Amino acid sequence: MDIKSIIVKEYLESLTESKELDYIFPLFLESQGFVILSKPTESKGLSQYGKDVVAVGNDFSDGIMKRFYFELKGGEDRNVTNSTYTKNDGIRESLIEAKDRKFDFTNKGHENLPLKIVLVHNGEIKSDVKEIFEGFVNREFSQNGNIEFDRWGISELTNLFAERFFGEFLLVNKEATKLFNKTLVNLDVEDKISNNFIELLDVIFGLVIRDDYNKTLPRKWKMMFESLRLISFIIYTESKEYNNLNIAKKYLTHLIVRLWYWVLKNKLEQDKSIRNYIDKILDFYLFVMNEYFQRTLPIACLKDGLYSETAGRYEQVGYTFRTFDYLQYLSWFLRLSPDTELLKEITKNTLIPILNANNVCCRPLLDIHSIPIIGILKLLIETGDKESARNYLSQVLFYIRIGKEKNDRLPDANNSERNVIKLITTREKSIYYSDSTSPLLAVLMEFIAILDMEKEYYEMKDFIKEHKIDLGIFVPYHSNNSTSKHLIEDKENDLEEQLFSKIFFNDGYQCDLSLTKNFDDELNFDEFKAMVLERKGEFIYDYRTDTAGFSILKDLAHIYFRTPYFPDKWRCLVNR
């Protein structure tokens, strides 16, 4: 058995929950051109008559189009034993019901196709029941009958998946196989995403050529998308084995961001066929994120629930880093709710308790912590809870002032965890620690205007003046009304293509946020609010991602690449 078959067999055997086989098997059939009429995820718990998957497709053995009833047995039932064969809703009972009960086809032409029933299980048939099982098959599905029967156990599934699914695209060559294997082996070894996974996706996207797609989506393209779905599912199941869905969260976020960059780069965001596949891949990502938060929210809402008691001295900063990372994904995920009233309720019952339970939520150490802070403030404002938004902003401002006055530090504008760790543990600033300019504080000053917090404005104005802090906000050159587009250095990628592909987004300028007029005269609060309102149109951009209906992906790119939000993210709240 070659390395490809070994990888596939080990993976299929690792599917120890029935719902895991329920998900991946229809995915395999779809990749082979089968039309699926019913899935186990749609009918589990109902009377299925042995028909876990009903599909129409060409038989692998003779190439004839047939109706298929696939009976899936996974998890504890994956092996054919005396128990799984004879028990209620067991193999024998399910196969008899599949044979006897009729399935109504919407397409009446399908009713005249030959029928084949297949038992699918990612295990083996045990010797003590093999003779009984074969006798049952010969009796119920005789060669003279009009119903065919087949059994796909672990050996048959390994061959089918290795050659027709994994092998056709994902493990198409030695390089891809090696990268895939290394990715799985090293999933839980380090906190960051492995280079093997990044390279694997590059290899996969490199296998399709844009010019090959004219009117009909080529099979090779379909297999690429199915492979991405397969990779997503495998990483999810492996993460569950480690009891750590944070792994799946990290890796699948990269996959989604990388996929959308490829779509944008090839100008495919409006293509309906492509969008259908994007929806499927994104739906699974959201399923994983939903399970991640279902598992972690009860803990996060406890007093210091995001604190790790096993991290030692690192928790001096680790607690804060972990909490802000959690909050940026949570605030992003909560905003997916299409119902405003439901969003208000969820925000009240999840976000607010976490902010109250974990006091480091208000203590940014890096300037890029602006992402979760903006996400939280925007969510609270848009759900009508301005009072909670004001309370949260006041606490953030308080801890920023305390950090400067007691420890002579602002959040590091270079966004280096290492710089912060050195400062906290040794009380010495690295030469690379940057806090003379504070983009984060500039954004928060604009939120002071948005939330009409006059008292805090004068407090922060005096604080900024006393400590000679420069305020600046990054603005891309790409604005619709920009006169600086000639300064754009990356001519190969537009704004969104850069956003979805670069760790450092440099095509822009730092726009000073001044609290004075005529150089010396200080702005009063009304004048400051008027200035913020005037700057509302400073950056306006027509996002292709928005037009395509995938606006949620923009924030995901900002989070993943740690690119500060552009001004249009929060200035849309001005005068709200």
Q: Are residues 366 and 477 in the same domain?
A: yes
Within a domain: residue 576?
A: no
* Rounded distance between C-alpha atoms, residue 162 and residue 157, angstroms: 8
CA 303 to chain centre: 27
**Per-residue model confidence as pLDDT tens digits over 213-234:** 988 888 889 888 988 988 998 9
pLDDT of 43 > 60? The answer is: no
Q: Residue 475's beta-bridge partner residues?
A: 509
Within a domain: residue 184?
A: yes
* Rounded distance between C-alpha atoms, residue 246 and residue 250, angstroms: 6
At a CB cut-off of 8 Å and minimum separation 6, what does 55 contact?
A: 26, 29, 34, 35, 36, 37, 67, 68, 70
Question: Do the Cβ atoms of 125 and 155 come closer than 8 Å?
Answer: no
Q: Which band of pLDDT confidence, cut at 50, 70 and 90, is reported for residue 535?
A: very high
Q: Which of the two residues, 354 and 89, has the higher pLDDT score?
A: 354
At a CB cut-off of 8 Å and minimum separation 6, what does 280 contact?
A: 225, 229
CA 271 to chain centre: 22
Write down which residue in 243, 271, 300 finishes a domain.
300
3-class secondary structure, 148: strand
Write down which residue in 120, 149, 165 finishes a domain.
165
Within a domain: residue 463?
A: yes
- Give pLDDT, residue 576: 63
* Rounded distance between C-alpha atoms, residue 74 and residue 18, angstroms: 4
- Give pLDDT, residue 505: 93
For the chain, the straight-line distance linking the first and the last C-alpha, in angstroms and rounded, comes to 65
For residue 194, report the phi and psi dihedrals to the nearest 5 degrees: -70, 145
Question: Do the Cβ atoms of 426 and 330 come closer than 8 Å?
Answer: no
* Rounded distance between C-alpha atoms, residue 355 and residue 306, angstroms: 11
- Angle at CA of residue 254, ends 252 and 256, nearest 5°: 70
* Rounded distance between C-alpha atoms, residue 548 and residue 22, angstroms: 31
Question: Do the Cβ atoms of 475 and 567 come closer than 8 Å?
Answer: yes
* Rounded distance between C-alpha atoms, residue 45 and residue 48, angstroms: 8
**Per-residue model confidence as pLDDT tens digits over 292-316:** 999 999 999 999 999 998 878 889 9
Percentage, residues of the chain above pLDDT 70: 97
Query: What is the reported pTM?
Result: 0.87
**Per-residue model confidence as pLDDT tens digits over 442-477:** 999 999 999 999 999 999 999 999 999 999 999 999
Q: 13 vs 75, 78, 172, 397, 564, CA distance in Å?
A: 10, 9, 21, 53, 43
For residue 303, report the phi and psi dihedrals to the nearest 5 degrees: -60, 120
Please state the rounded mean pLDDT for residues 381-401. 97
Of 347, 224, 216, residue with least CA distance to 281: 224
Within a domain: residue 124?
A: yes
Instruction: Please write down the HEC assignment for all residues of 152-187.
Output: ECHHHHHHHHHHHHHHHHHCCCHHHHHHHHHHHHCC
Q: How many CB atoms lie within 10 A of CB 283?
A: 11
**Per-residue model confidence as pLDDT tens digits over 356-380:** 999 999 999 999 999 999 999 999 9
Cα torsion angle, 478, 447, 306, 434, sign: positive
**Per-residue model confidence as pLDDT tens digits over 92-106:** 998 998 888 777 777
Q: Which of the two residues, 173 and 226, has the higher pLDDT score?
A: 226
* Rounded distance between C-alpha atoms, residue 252 and residue 268, angstroms: 21
- Give pLDDT, residue 51: 53
**Per-residue model confidence as pLDDT tens digits over 124-170:** 999 999 999 999 999 988 777 789 999 999 999 999 998 888 877 77
pLDDT of 70 > 60? The answer is: yes
- Give pLDDT, residue 50: 40
Q: How many CB atoms lie within 10 A of CB 503?
A: 8
Helix axis angle, 272-300 relative to 219-241, nearest 10°? 10
Q: Are residues 493 and 359 in the same domain?
A: yes
3-class secondary structure, 74: coil
- Give pLDDT, residue 41: 54
- Give pLDDT, residue 45: 37
**Per-residue model confidence as pLDDT tens digits over 187-218:** 988 888 999 999 999 999 998 999 889 888 88
Q: How many domains does the chain have?
A: 3
Question: Do the Cβ atoms of 157 and 111 come closer than 8 Å?
Answer: no
Q: Are residues 230 and 331 in the same domain?
A: no
Indicate the residue type of 212: D
- Give pLDDT, residue 170: 76
Q: Are residues 240 and 346 in the same domain?
A: no
- Give pLDDT, residue 47: 37
C-alpha R_g of the chain: 28
* Rounded distance between C-alpha atoms, residue 173 and residue 328, angstroms: 38
pLDDT of 64 > 80? The answer is: yes
At a CB cut-off of 8 Å and minimum separation 6, what does 132 contact?
A: 85
Write down which residue in 279, 300, 321 finishes a domain.
300
Within a domain: residue 307?
A: no
Q: Which band of pLDDT confidence, cut at 50, 70 and 90, is reported for residue 40?
A: low
> What is the average pLDDT score of the chain?
91
Range of the structural domain that residue 239 is part of: 172-300
- Give pLDDT, residue 175: 86
Within a domain: residue 305?
A: no
Q: Are residues 416 and 451 in the same domain?
A: yes
Of 197, 193, 163, residue with least CA distance to 183: 197
**Per-residue model confidence as pLDDT tens digits over 437-448:** 899 999 999 999
**Per-residue model confidence as pLDDT tens digits over 494-514:** 999 999 999 989 999 999 999
* Rounded distance between C-alpha atoms, residue 465 and residue 238, angstroms: 53
Question: Do the Cβ atoms of 352 and 388 come closer than 8 Å?
Answer: yes
Within a domain: residue 441?
A: yes
Q: Are residues 154 and 184 in the same domain?
A: no
Q: Are residues 280 and 323 in the same domain?
A: no
* Rounded distance between C-alpha atoms, residue 73 and residue 520, angstroms: 77
Q: Are residues 407 and 347 in the same domain?
A: yes
Q: Are residues 99 and 2 in the same domain?
A: yes
Q: How many CB atoms lie within 10 A of CB 465?
A: 12
Q: Are residues 123 and 196 in the same domain?
A: no
For residue 38, report the phi and psi dihedrals to the nearest 5 degrees: -155, 135
| Ramachandran region, residue 83 (left: φ > 0; alpha: ψ -120 to 50; beta: rest) | alpha
Which CATH number belongs to the domain containing residue 102 in this structure? 3.40.91
Q: Are residues 236 and 88 in the same domain?
A: no
Q: Which of the two residues, 403 and 46, has the higher pLDDT score?
A: 403
Q: Are residues 343 and 434 in the same domain?
A: yes
